[in-house]
Structure 1
Amino acid sequence: MSQWTAVSRTQHADSYFWPRQGYGFAAQEQVVPILIAELTKLLPHYALAFIQQGEHYQPVALTGLGGERNLYVHSDGRWLASYVPSILRGHPFRMAKADNDQPVLAIEQDNLTDDSSAQPLFDEDGNLTEKVQQTLNFLTQCDKNRQVTAKASQLLGETGLIEPWPLKIERGEGREPITVQGLHRINEKAMNELAAEAFADLRKHGALALAYAQLFSMSQLSQLTERAKFHEKHHAKQGDQSANRDIDSLLDGDDDDLTFDFGD
């Protein structure tokens, strides 16, 4: 399990970090939390759902079929889609809460090092290096939108529009379908029956966009089955040219930067 430590100018002035190399750290993630700000980027590549966390719901992109493999992560760490969910791109950093409940920049402990061949956290003047500051800016913007996303999800739940999603994915003749547990979706019938005032309130808080995005995204379940077939076919063919061509068919560019410009 990952351990995180707050980045401190006094404790880490002479510390270094190993930057992210691919997405192997997410190789077992079956779902990835998402933000409202990135919905238009997510829709071409992911089926979206909600998972229940206590009394609240978290919107997520589906990246697995209930097994141990994240179907969007290649064995060499490449992400098998042209858009990577924002929560993954800041790794090995993330925002955490300090004792005074204020947001602070944290780093995964395994990526923190005293090895000077890695990248420094701070410059000679005691300021965050350009790369770390860029990451902090990106994560700060993501954190702000995460609050907006949480509010919208809460409103959808309170309005009674989120229901269990008994997802069953067919795998072709002679193969048992896959049943994925623990997912929720928008109840389209209930949303269409909403009173005008409740409908307007959803739109005001961005919840309407999130609801429609989840409904529209269900047509992307084929993305999961395509990647499952890819992993099965090329499990023993790493380095093979045909395998590389198949990888190219799943990729279209490399949206791997740290900018908070989602084309809204």
Structure 2
Amino acid sequence: MPEWVALSRTQHAAHHYLPRQGYAFAAEQPVASILLAELNKLLPHYALGFIKQEARYQPVALLGLNGRDNLYVHPDGRWLGGYVPAGLRGYPFTLANAEDRQQVLCIDRAHLLEDETAGEPLFGDDGQLAERVQQTLTFLQQCERNRQVTQAAARLLGDSGLIEPWPLKVERGDGQAPLEVQGLYRISETALNALEAEAFAALRGHGALPLAYAQLFSMGQLNQLTERAGFHQQLQARQAPREPVESLFGGDDDELTFDFGD
């Protein structure tokens, strides 16, 4: 687990940091939080669902089947997909709430260096954040703004009675019993279709409908998980895949840029 350290101009002015190389840090992460702004990029690659955190529903992309392993991460750290969820791309930085409820930029202690000859600088000679760190901060702030909108949409879906437990069973083939995935929730299509016009309009007015329909449409992507599970089994058996990784799953979108709209 990351140990987050709040960045300080006085304490870390001369420190450097190790930039993220790949996504090995997420190798045991079975889900990733998602944002409304990225739904159109997520849909071609992920099955989406909800998990429950402190009585709140959090929309997520499903990354694994056994509650532990991330099937989208290659053993060498590459991302096995054409788009990386925005919530993973800011690492080794994140935003956290300080005691005064102000958000501060933090870094995983494992990436913080006192050696000025290695890594990249955190701050410039003028005492301001280095350009790449500032770019990451801007990206994280954009994500945070949309995260609040996303949470409001998920809360409205839950309050409207549209989210139900998802008894997900994933077929594994080869005579194996289906794998049961616990702790997930989905949109009840029956409840959504039964909404009164006024309630439906309220969901539309608060931007919750795209999240609801995206979750329903995304369930056709469950084969993405089974395909990647088969790929990892090949690797474990030391059998080279018949095609390069990129042709199987696409390259990864690794940029700290995203069109979050107005």
Is the pair's TM-score, using the shorter chain for normalization, greater than 0.5? yes
Tell me the residue number matched to 2:22: 22
Tell me the residue number matched to 2:108: 108
Tell me the residue number matched to 1:256: 254
* Conservation of the 8 A alpha-carbon contact between 2:6 and 2:107: yes
Which range moves more in the overlay, 183-192 or 252-261?
252-261
Give the superposition deviation at 1:123. Answer: 0.4
Give the superposition deviation at 1:67. Answer: 4.8
CA distance in 1, matches of 2:7, 2:39: 30
Tell me the residue number matched to 2:86: 86
CA distance in 1, matches of 2:180, 2:122: 44
Which range moves more in the overlay, 95-104 or 20-29?
95-104
CA distance in 2, matches of 1:18, 1:134: 16
TM (normalized to structure 1)?
0.95
* Conservation of the 8 A alpha-carbon contact between 2:142 and 2:260: no
Matched, 1:43 2:32: no
Give the superposition deviation at 1:203. Answer: 1.2
Moved beyond 3 Å, runs of 4+ = none
> 3-state DSSP class of the match of 2:250?
coil
Q: How many pairs were matched up? A: 261
Alignment-mate amino acid for residue 233 of structure 1: Q
Within 5 A, what are the aligned runs for 1:116-135?
116=116, 117-135=118-136
CA distance in 2, matches of 1:67, 1:4: 24
* Conservation of the 8 A alpha-carbon contact between 1:37 and 1:145: yes
CA distance in 1, matches of 2:160, 2:55: 13
CA distance in 2, matches of 1:209, 1:133: 31
> 3-state DSSP class of the match of 1:75?
coil
Within 5 A, what are the aligned runs for 1:160-171?
160-171=161-172
CA distance in 2, matches of 1:140, 1:250: 33
* Conservation of the 8 A alpha-carbon contact between 2:156 and 2:203: yes
Percent identity over the alignment is: 62
* Conservation of the 8 A alpha-carbon contact between 1:142 and 1:260: no
* Conservation of the 8 A alpha-carbon contact between 1:71 and 1:224: yes
Within 5 A, what are the aligned runs for 1:205-224?
205-224=206-225
